[in-house]
A = this chain, B = another copy of it.
Amino acid sequence: MFSIGELSRRTNVKVPTIRYYEESGLLDAPERTEGNQRRYDAAGLERLSFIKHARDLGFSIEAIATLIDLQGHPDRSCREATDIATAQLLDVRAKIKRLRALEKELVRISKGCAGDGVSEDCYVLASLSDHDLCEREH
């Protein structure tokens, strides 16, 4: 049995975030000491590691709740889990695509100005003012 601070150290999840996960229903309320402090066991650690890993991969709290629910029903189909993972993958790919377009545009804009003139002549500011200066959609 260990404290919330110890759990925090072992998982690299901040203490208030752990409490937040409990409040959100991702973590079961753990046992308490006589003095009302949380005490966790191996199961709590495992669960939080799962959550942390999923969050690191960008899954939403809601998606994680579904995944945890599925874990609790080992006899149910895992279709839902693979669907969630696939949706997450598509989301990540969409974000990458968009960011790449932004990157190109920002490179172009940044290159246009050495930063040594006055702002009146700044290509960065001009580019932002006038979308027509852009080469592609974003």
Contacts and interface: CB of A to CB of B under 8 A. Distances in A.
B74 A138 contact: no
B53 A128 contact: yes
How many chain A residues sit at the interface, stated as a range, is 35 or more
Given A73-B119, A75-B119, A77-B119, 13 more contacts: A70-B119, A78-B117, A79-B116, A81-B113, A81-B125, A82-B115, A82-B124, A83-B115, A84-B124, A85-B106, A89-B106, A92-B102, A99-B99
A120 B74 contact: yes
Chain A contact residues: over half helix, strand or loop, or mixed? helix
A26 B22 CA distance: 38
Contact of A106 (B71, B88, B114, B129): B88
Interface string A92-108: 11011001101101110
A8 interface: no
Nearest to A90: B106
